[in-house]
């Protein structure tokens, strides 16, 4: 693990632990967070094109005003907020294909307790470890076992998702169907049943993610809209509001995105 790095995130200063190497399971990313503040942390979660496990290692957090231990946020959760004090947690991002195999269900837009989809002693075992290296190794091993025994997505579905990721969501579904050799109807049906979103919505989510990170990097909404496949700046504004509930200007300064360059290497894993 690289030495813990620090990034200012709104009201809190986070200690961030990251693995020293990429996961052996493609499509998995992990980071550990320790809040170095006594103040209440109140964050709006900006949607990301992955299913995210939030494994709480200290006191229970308020997620959407409900006290919870560890939770799973599906693709594009709507209006997700996390609040708490003295926070120590691990975030585990799973590509949709990996999430399908590990969790066995799609969670589009949902936030559920981890135990509801994966009855596991993992949070307790992680709390018992003092080393982030050991914690990352335990998570990787646990995910690997679940993945091996789970159902993988169709190769055509995995291919379509990978194309969306590589092209930052700027794809035509008809062209993807042609490239897979499937009809548009079959791709739409299989993609949605396995990943939880329609191909069109998934492409929009990937495009939104690319655009919102460019906004956070300081690029103007006009240039981001022009380069990201939006009709105009108004179209970008509408889509950012639809996914994140905030304006592009607010997204550019979103505390949730402030730690990304430290916690999550980019580009993210696209496999599966």
Q: Give residue-wise pLDDT tens across range 33-64.
A: 988 766 778 888 899 999 999 999 987 777 88
Percent of the chain with pLDDT strictly greater than 70: 91
**Confidence (pTM):** 0.89
pLDDT averaged over every residue in the chain: 87
Q: Give residue-wise pLDDT tens across range 193-218.
A: 999 999 999 999 999 999 999 999 99
- 18 beta partners: 2
Mean local confidence (pLDDT), 66-76: 87
Q: How confident is the model at residue 4 (pLDDT cuts 50, 70, 90)?
A: very low
> What number of other Cβ atoms are within 10 A of residue 44's Cβ?
16
Q: How confident is the model at residue 119 (pLDDT cuts 50, 70, 90)?
A: confident
Question: Does the pLDDT of residue 269 top 50, yes or no?
Answer: no
Angle made by CA atoms 52, 55, 58, in degrees to the nearest 5: 150
Q: What is the pLDDT of residue 231?
A: 95
* CB burial string 155-181: b at 16+ within 10 A, e below: ebbbbbbbbbbeebbebebeebbeebe
The residue among 242 and 58 whose pLDDT is bigger is: 242
Q: Give residue-wise pLDDT tens across range 120-176.
A: 899 999 999 999 999 999 999 999 999 999 999 999 999 999 999 999 999 999 999
Integer Cα distance of 168 and 210 in angstroms:
6
Residue 103 neighbours by CB under 8 Å, 6+ apart: 51, 72, 94, 117, 118, 146
Q: What is the pLDDT of residue 108?
A: 78
Q: What is the pLDDT of residue 2?
A: 46
């Amino acid at each position: 693990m690289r030495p813990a790095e620090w990034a200012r995130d709104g009201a809190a200063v986070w200690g961030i632990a990251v693995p020293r190497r990429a996961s052996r399971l493609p499509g998995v990313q992990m980071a550990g967070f320790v809040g170095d503040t006594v103040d209440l942390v109140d964050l709006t979660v900006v949607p990301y094109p992955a299913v995210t496990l939030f494994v709480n290692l200290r006191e229970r957090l308020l997620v959407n005003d409900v006290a919870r231990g560890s939770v799973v946020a599906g693709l594009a959760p709507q209006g997700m907020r996390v609040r708490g004090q003295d926070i120590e947690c691990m975030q585990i991002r799973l590509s949709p294909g990996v999430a399908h195999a590990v969790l066995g269900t799609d969670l589009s837009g949902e936030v559920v307790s981890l135990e509801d989809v994966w009855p596991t002693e993992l949070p307790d075992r992680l709390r018992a470890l003092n080393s982030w290296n050991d914690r990352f190794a335990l998570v990787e091993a646990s995910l690997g076992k679940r993945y091996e025994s789970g159902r993988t997505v169709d190769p055509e579905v995995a291919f379509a998702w990978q194309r969306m990721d590589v092209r930052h969501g700027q794809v035509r579904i008809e062209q993807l169907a042609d490239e897979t050799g499937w009809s548009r109807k079959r791709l739409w049906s299989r993609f949605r049943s396995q990943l939880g979103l329609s191909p069109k919505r998934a492409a929009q989510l990937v495009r939104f993610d690319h655009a919102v990170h460019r906004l956070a990097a300081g690029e103007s909404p006009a240039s981001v809209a022009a380069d990201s496949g939006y009709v105009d700046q108004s179209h970008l504004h509408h889509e950012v509001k639809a996914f994140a509930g905030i304006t592009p200007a607010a997204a550019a300064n979103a505390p949730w995105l402030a730690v990304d360059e430290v916690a999550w290497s980019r580009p993210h894993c696209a496999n599966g």
